[in-house]
Amino acid sequence: MSEPGADTGTIEEFAASQGLRVDDSGKLRNGLRWFATFMAQKRLGAAGVLLVFVWSVIAVGTVGDGGGWMGIGRYDSRDVFEIASATYADDKLANVLDGMDEDTSDAELRELVSDPEIYGPAAIDQGVAQEMIDYALRHIEEGTLLATLVDEEQIEIRDGTIHDVDALLATGTDNPLTAASLQGPSGKHWLGTDRAGHDLFSRVTEGARLSLYIGFFATLIGVGAGTVIGLVAGSLGGTVDLTVNRIMDAIQSYPPIVFLLLIASLTDPSALWVTLALSVLGIAPTNRIVRGSVIQIREMPYVEAARTIGASSIRIMVFHILPNLFAPLIVIFSITIGAFILAEAALSFLGLGTLDVSWGKMIADGRQFIVYSPWTSLWAGLALSSLVFGFNVLGDALRDVLDPRLRGSR
Amino acid sequence: MQKYLIRRLLLVIPTLWLVISLLFLGVNLLPGDYVTIKLSNLEASGATTQPADIIGDIEIERTLHRVVAGDSVDSLALFYGVAPEEIVDLNPRIDLDSELIPGSSIIIIDGQLLSVIARQERLSLPEDVDQGVALLIERNPDVDFSTFAGEPFAQAGTTLKLRDSTNINELANVNRVTPEDYLNVNLVGTPSNPDGELAADTPLLPGTTIIAPTREITESSVKHRLGLDKPLGIQYVEFIWDTIRLKFRPSFQTNEPSMDIFLRTLPRTLHLNVYALIVAIVVALPVGVFSAMRQDRLPDYLLRGFAIFALAAPSFWVATMLIFVVSPGSLFEGGLWSIPLAEEEARSIFKSVPGFFALYTIPAVAGGIAAGAGLMRITRSELLEVLRQDYVRTAWSKGLRERQVIRRHAFRNALVPVLSVFGLQVAALVGGNIILEVLFNIPGVGLALLQRIYQADTPVIATMVFFLALFVIIVNIIIDVSYALIDPRIRYA
């Protein structure tokens, strides 16, 4: 095919010219063997692989229907009194019911709940009132009004129990509505329910999806961009390198959470923006490590050799330097995902994250009611910690095996 | 070494310039700005035009509620946050069960809330009612103010002094117009100013009335007042120049110097972070050493497992769970952390040592645990490394006791990398503990920053972020230099 001694390009071309065959299955077999050794020798790392795998399966299983894994554990939360937006429900509900008569017809009822006046002076803000009206109207339409007035002091709730109006106005577990929406673990709701009566098992599994989604893509973008920048800066050196380093120093000077807060507060609360904001944070550390490796590698004899035979600098970067960065990059990747999942949870906790179900938000929600029930915060936090734990130990094990020089870099 | 130091310090200059530029970019070019928020707030409060100004004394009247259909004594009591009996006491004609006649008036307070007076009489900017209340109290030392639902109010029948004296500048500020607007409409023949000579800083005594410019507040007027109507390039140059001189612009929101806000909040952040770092060190170093000495035995496994888990658990969750275990009620009404600790003087807790520890211990432990876990891991692995060295083996073979070998030979040498990790954590904690400040209502830099970010109060955000970034830069330099000082093997070219 070509004369011996000429630049034969890829190894496949060279093999073909010599009448040889590159055995792909050999690569695969070696890879599997490597993985088996890794799992056997690094027990913590194996635990990490397992945790990440389990959470990934859970996350993939929740795609689509929203809640629960493959429909398992997805419970209709309506049997828990159906309290829409239970945050406000307690006293607002009593206000609505206060205005009802025993023999109020549906039409009158509708009129009653539509009339902002009935909230009297206690109508705190229009948004809340409107929500409550919508809620009541929906139930009148569906014929599932959750409660009817027995007399002036008592209300019958749909499950047949009768409560005092005063009790519904009370705060805390004295209030039957709060008590009912915040249930502990049971056979019906494996992990209990949150303040709105949502099943926590479905919420926790759904939270995995967002965490993994944002963690993975933010890391992919951030580490990708950091690699390209570090590769170019490290290979070219000189002014480019100096400039890039200054910019990276500047970005790294911001405390990460401050940087996130700035970006998150100035943009829409969407998964896309959170991902992009996080990925910016991934660029600088990746760049630092990649650049360090590149500076070492570019002095290697084989790079020298490639340069001598006239390979372009892009070719050297892509075919000679990049493959050698594979090991540190894998390590950076798994460690960064864990850190980003934590950062996303922190943002959600502060109320600056996405609008989807998120573990950080669940912890914040549960915190408000932690006096009455710790379950919401507990499960969300445990799920979050276990996933991050998985990525951390996986990253540590990979680092020990692939690139011990990186030890202590975090 | 000196050469390295100088080079290192010189490189700070471009980094700082970039930090400032990025900051400018961040607060200016991204969508969502102060003017929009401000205008919609003003619109909501109906304060887009200015009525006439009153300078002088005011007679206090009773605060009445005009009854509408559906009101009852109970509902009014609920709405105003008073006991129904109090309302009945003030209104002899009604009792607890009587029906209220729509259109009639009910006395709610036997006087007026100072916040209402401050707002009506324009003693301060509309969003700074607290400041106005403080002014009223300060200017009327001999009046006894009672409180109503937690707010001070003045008794009906008394006369309050609104201002000792004022001038056009002050009025213009409070009314969100420029002094020129005032001077333009008060050129000739105002009641107390017949000869038409008025300057921006002429003292105006109580009893003076002047014509208020009823100019509408528009986007352009707000922008003009804040200097946001200049071209971006000029704003950028001014921003850099201001930052270099550390003369930051005052807050958009309160007109308070940004630097004052930063310095006021800084001590709280320092308390929290220093405490958290102490927790981290106290936990990490002994435990790390212990773990290394018992390598691969059960305590080592347990402690390492704990450290890895502590690194994975977010501090805000750890804090939440700690609260649940220790004192579930303290985040809520009446609890230790339920009030934003803005009024420091009002918080006697700051004055006492037990109060300090009660306030900061849980947040500091939550913040310190993760940092401590990282430190512990690095202490352990470095110590193990050092314990394998020849000179340690020599020490053992000399017959030294374990304590001496660890303390004198191994630990000191293992400390160098630990110090660098510690430095990184100092830098990281200041930013990371923002979330703890929010969680525990500690009015530090973090909480203030988050609040200002919500309000898009650009100058204050810029000031705080600048100092946080500066802090990180300085810490990094200190790490590098101290590294070289501690470990003579390291030489910087």
Given an 8 Å threshold on Cβ–Cβ distance, is B321 in contact with A247? no
Give the long-range contacts of residues B74-79, CB within 8 A, separation 24 or more. Answer: B75/A120, B75/A121, B75/A122, B76/A121, B76/B100, B76/B106, B76/B108, B78/A121, B78/A122, B79/A120, B79/A121, B79/A122
**In sequence order, what are the beta bridge partners of B154?**
B112
Q: Which residue has the higher pLDDT, B31 or A248?
A: A248
Answer whether A350 sits within 8 Å of B450, measured CB to CB. yes
pLDDT digits (tens, 9 = 90+) for A313-338: 888 888 888 888 888 888 889 889 99
Summarize pLDDT for A200-212 with one digit per residue, the tens. Answer: 887 888 888 889 9
| CA–CA gap between residue B140 and residue B163 (Å, rounded) | 10
ipTM of model? 0.73
B292-319: average pLDDT: 86
With pLDDT > 90 as the criterion, what percentage of chain B qualifies? 3
- Determine contact: A44 vs chain B, CB below 8 A: yes
- Judged by CB atoms closer than 8 Å, whether chains meet at A392 and B311 is answered as yes
- Which three-class secondary structure state does DSSP give residue B114? helix
The number of CA neighbours under 13 Å toward the Cβ of B248 is: 25
Judge whether residue A5 has pLDDT over 60: no
| Chosen from A257, A377, A394 to mutate, greatest number of chain B CBs within 10 A | A257
Residue A273 contacts B, CB cutoff 8 Å: no
- pLDDT per position as a tens digit, B384-413: 888 888 888 888 888 888 888 888 788 877
Alpha-carbon distance B373 to nearest alpha carbon in chain A (angstroms): 12
Residue A4 has a pLDDT of 46
List, as one string, the DSSP characters of B141-188. TTSPPEEETTEEEEETT-EEE--S-B-HHHHHHHTTS-HHHHHHHTSS
Task: State pLDDT tens for residues A32-69.
Answer: 888 888 888 788 888 899 999 999 988 887 765 544 55
Q: B210 or A335: which carries more pLDDT confidence?
A: A335
Of B44-53, B79-88, B128-137, B141-150, least confident by mean pLDDT is B44-53
Taking CB atoms and an 8 Å cutoff, what residues of chain A touch B76? Answer: 121
pLDDT score of A337: 93
**Nearest-angstrom CA–CA distance, A365 and A345:** 13
Average pLDDT, chain B: 76
**Residue B437 CB-half CA count within 13 A:** 28
pLDDT number for residue A84? 34
Residue with tokens 């073979």: B397
B77 shares contact with chain A (CB less than 8 Å): no
Residue type present at position A184: G
What is the helix (H) or strand (E) element at residue A254, kind and residue range? none
| Cα–Cα separations (whole angstroms), residue B214 to B205, B222, B325, B472 | 22, 15, 58, 49
Q: How confident is the model at residue B162 (pLDDT cuts 50, 70, 90)?
A: confident
Give me B301's structure tokens.
């496994």
| Cα gap B139→B166, rounded to integer Å | 13
- Is the distance from CB of A231 to CB of A320 less than 8 angstroms? no
What would the DSSP string read from start to end of A20-33? ----HHHHHHHHHH
Task: Give the A:B interface size as CB pairs under 8 Å.
Answer: 158
Q: Which run of H or of E encompasses B65? A: strand B63-66
Name the phi and psi angles at B149, rounded to 5: 50, 40
Residue-level pLDDT at B430: 72
Q: Do B453 and A265 touch (CB under 8 A)?
A: yes
Q: Identify the pLDDT of residue A228.
A: 93
Query: Where does the pLDDT of residue A408 fall: very low under 50, low under 70, confident under 90, or very high at 90 and above?
Result: very low
Question: How would you classify residue A151: left for phi > 0, otherwise alpha for psi between -120 and 50, otherwise beta?
Answer: beta
Using one digit for the tens of pLDDT, what is the confidence trace for A109-128? Answer: 555 555 544 443 333 333 34
Span B336-384, pLDDT tens digits: 565 544 444 434 455 566 667 777 888 899 888 888 888 888 888 888 8
Looking at the partner chain, which of A122, A255, A384 has a beta carbon nearest the beta carbon of B468?
Answer: A255
Q: How would residue A220 be classed by pLDDT, with cut points 50, 70 and 90?
A: very high
For residue A184, the model assigns a pLDDT of 76
CA dist B339 and B347 (Å) reads 10
Q: Tell if the CB–CB gap between A346 and B435 is shorter than 8 Å.
A: yes
pLDDT at B490: 58
pLDDT at residue A222, rounded to an integer: 95
Site of tokens 């029930």: A373
Q: Å from A325 to nearest chain B CA?
A: 25
